[in-house]
Structure 1
Amino acid sequence: MAAEFPLMLSAGEALTDMIACGHGQWRSVVGGSTWNVARSMAKLGLATGFAGAVSQDLFGQELVRASADAGLDLRLLQQYDRPPLLAIVGESTPPSYFFIGSDSADLHFDPEQLPAGWSSSLQWAHFGGISLARQPLAGKLLGLARQLKAQGVRISYDPNFRNNMHADYDPILHEMGQLADLIKVSDDDLRGLFRSQDADWAFTQLRAINPAATVLYTRGEQGASLHMGELAWQADALKVAVADTIGAGDASIAGLLYSLSMHADREPRSHLRFALAAGAAACLAAGAQAPSLQQVEALFSVME
């Protein structure tokens, strides 16, 4: 008997970060915003699938292995005989990077090739990252988001601004914003997406796209807020020994999705605190981390 299909989905890019180590040496690390969210949800114990495509070479094989290790549903992961998508990270603090991926495997993801019945159990589907700024993949993912929304699946969206998102990204921001039940955004995202240094003004513009959406607004060391309609809840950032902040945003949205799914009766402030605890847990070790439920709950208990 085939295993049941996942309850949670993250769709988009899985890539390899090539991180400069000095003197012409590089370290490769599996990553990608949407893949990190999928891995984080799975690590928290949610039945999760990642829908995307990777190469068949050593970079793609490593992503497949890491997906299996994370407990992701591999039936939704596709492989193609195309080049890998690479993020070249010259500096980590502050991040300095560019992407290499002309005609790379991620662009060939085909939702039509997903197995029959794959979305029958889905509760949430997450979209975002650079996958929505890379055609023709962006168009495929938008179509998938529309299809799942019509099916009754709740949509989560983290634009996760990167330097390849220009004015031509605006229509995607607006459509995904309108489709989303949950939007995660940082102050840096807002400045980039709306091309303004006034993050508060940009946040007002974002809320106007879909006033009914729940919004998780993170501001680094200044903490975060959760917005539902006219109501908002604030929480301070957790004080932890930070190795780095890579992947903290991905872990925080995964934590919020976990809390909303598994503890629907929680007060909104508790959902917010759990999201912050997940983000803080991801900062305890270098590189993008998928913290365990035990790590997150330990930090969450300190905040309650």
Structure 2
Amino acid sequence: MSGSVLCLGEAVIDFIPVMSADGPAYRPCLGGSPYNVARALGRLGVPTEYGCAVSTDLFGDQFVAGLTESRVGQHFLQRLDAPSTLGFVSLDQAEPAYAFFDKGGADRICEDIPSDQALSGVGTLHFGSIALLREPTASAYETLFLREAGGTRLISFDPNIRASLVREEAAYRGRVERLLQAADIIKISSADLDWLYPGLAHDAAASRWLKYRASVVVITHGKDGVSGWSRRGHAHAHAIPVKVVDTVGAGDSFMAGLLASLHENGLLTSATLEDPSTEALGHMLAYGQRVASAVCTKRGANSPWREELLG
């Protein structure tokens, strides 16, 4: 048994630009990278839990309802008397740009991490995004990440860097580097990789991480598809042409599709993931692309259900 996937990190109300009868407006949507991954995994039929904290305010209630609706467990969820994090999204560039309002936010101030005993039913922990940037949550999650690395549970990591939010760049780069060296599954966008290591060839980066702990490294290239590496080979999957409404949550949905494919093929355990074949790589990349392309046809990070993909 692979156990459940526990997604740890921020929940954000994304305000997405829309055109209303009165002109330009913003529509609030449930978001936040690890929260998106959790909901997408639940909809894909993977046993999933969401950790971190959400507010006791009206948005916090919406986050909880969204998890319940997507069949995501909440054993590790905290409710704090603190505001919800808000993020305003700009779609004027090739990639969505964000302005976050999170001072004192519930997902920023939580620092309780589960014990090894509490994690007994968990097989994979997924980390990423601004939860690893903002204190005190960032240090708490790094502690948990490094405590679990190399143990019986898999560690999945998508840095999902928001460079405009980075204030102490040297410290942040050091943290990301430590985590990249300790993760079993790495998914990173080409834009994030180029920010971290300007001029470093993507295959060289993958080779570097495979020499540490990683068994799977995936680099996404937006409209140019996605590439994946294991110690046994390399695979590429093209982007799937769709009528794009927006790309908010596309990377998170791809991440969920990748993990769901590993789960369905019995590879989401420390014993089975060690050396996936090129064929298995190709399958997981293609499935991730199907999930990501589906979310691009909807407003916000509204991932598809497994039944939709089978239809």
Q: Fold match, TM over 0.5?
A: yes
CA contact (8 A) 2:111 2:136 kept: no
In structure 1, the partner of 2:276 is none
Residue in 1 that maps onto 2:296 = 283
Measured in 1, the distance between the counterparts of 2:52 and 2:143 equals 14
Query: Shift of residue 146 of structure 1?
Result: 2.1
- Asked whether the equivalents of residues 76 and 115 of structure 1 are also in contact (C-alpha less than 8 Å), the reply is no
Residue of structure 1 equivalent to 2:272: none
Tell me how far 1:242 sits from its aligned partner.
Answer: 2.2
Q: Which moved more, 1:248-257 or 1:289-298?
A: 289-298
TM-score (norm 1): 0.87
The answer on 1:19 being equivalent to 2:16 is: yes
Residue number in structure 2 paired with 1:96: 97
Superposition deviation, residue 51 in structure 1: 0.6
Stretches of structure 1 lacking an aligned partner (at least 5 in a row): 1-5, 299-304
SS in 2 for 1:35: helix
Gaps of 5+ in 2: 268-278
* Structure 1 residue identity aligned to 2:81: D
Q: Which residue of 2 aligns with 1:208?
A: 208
Aligned residues: 290
1:273 aligns with 2:286: yes
Tell which deviates more after alignment, 175-184 or 225-234: 225-234
1:120 aligns with 2:120: yes
Q: Measure how far apart 1:90 and its partner are.
A: 3.9
In the alignment, is residue 63 of structure 1 matched against residue 63 of structure 2?
yes
What letter corresponds to residue 258 of structure 1 in structure 2? A
Of 123-132 and 210-219, deviating more is 210-219
The amino acid of 1:189's aligned partner reads: D
Determine the C-alpha separation between the residues in 2 that align with 1:201 and 1:116: 38
Task: Give the letter aligned to residue 296 of structure 1.
Answer: L
Query: How much has 1:147 moved relative to structure 2?
Result: 2.7
Paired residues of 2:206 and 2:229 also in contact (CA < 8 A):
no
The structure carrying a bigger helix percent of its residues is 1
Q: Percent identity?
A: 31
Flag the structure with more relative contact order, 1 or 2, with Cα contacts below 8 A and sequence separation at least 6: 2
1:220/1:52 Cα in 2 relative to 1: closer, same or farther (>3 Å)?
Answer: same
RMSD: 2.4
* Structure 2 CA distance for partners of 1:133 and 1:276, relative to 1, 3 Å: same
In 2, the alpha carbon distance for the partners of 1:28 and 1:130 equals 19
Distance 2:131 2:159 in 1: 10
1:167-214 Cα distance to aligned partner (Å, 9 max, x none): 3311111111011111001111212333x3x4x536634642453511
